[in-house]
């Protein structure tokens, strides 16, 4: 499923959501209005899995959020693994 910032012209991509058999399944992308990737991650059975990466509009990495390796893992909560400021300096690491 693809959405755009300009739905009539369809030139500014906003979001790519992978759908299989009605469930989110595969690699997900969300874009800033300038075209840079804002968020990328992976879905299995509609659940976020593995590392999700967020970026600033300038393209520099913002943070990495760790999700469970497998969907539906009980007791495993997502957490911020690393975070950077807008200049690219690491400000947090777990």
Ordered structural domains, the chain, with CATH: 2-93 (2.20.110)
Note the pLDDT tens digit of each residue in 28-43.
999 999 999 999 999 9
* Token pair 């600033």: residue: 56
pLDDT band, very low/low/confident/very high, at 89 (cuts 50, 70, 90): very high
Distance CA 50, CA 40 (A): 11
Greater confidence (12 vs 74) lies with 12
* pTM across the whole model: 0.91
Note the pLDDT tens digit of each residue in 55-79.
999 999 999 999 999 999 888 899 9
């Amino acid at each position: 499923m693809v959405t755009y910032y300009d739905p009539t012209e369809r030139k500014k991509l906003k979001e790519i959501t992978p759908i299989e058999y009605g469930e989110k399944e595969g690699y997900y992308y969300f874009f800033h209005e300038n075209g840079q990737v804002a968020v990328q991650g992976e879905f299995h059975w509609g659940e976020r899995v593995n590392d999700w990466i967020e970026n600033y509009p300038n393209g520099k990495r913002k943070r990495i959020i760790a999700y469970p390796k497998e969907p539906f893992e009980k007791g495993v909560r997502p957490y911020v693994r690393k975070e950077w400021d807008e200049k690219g300096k690491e400000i947090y690491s777990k």
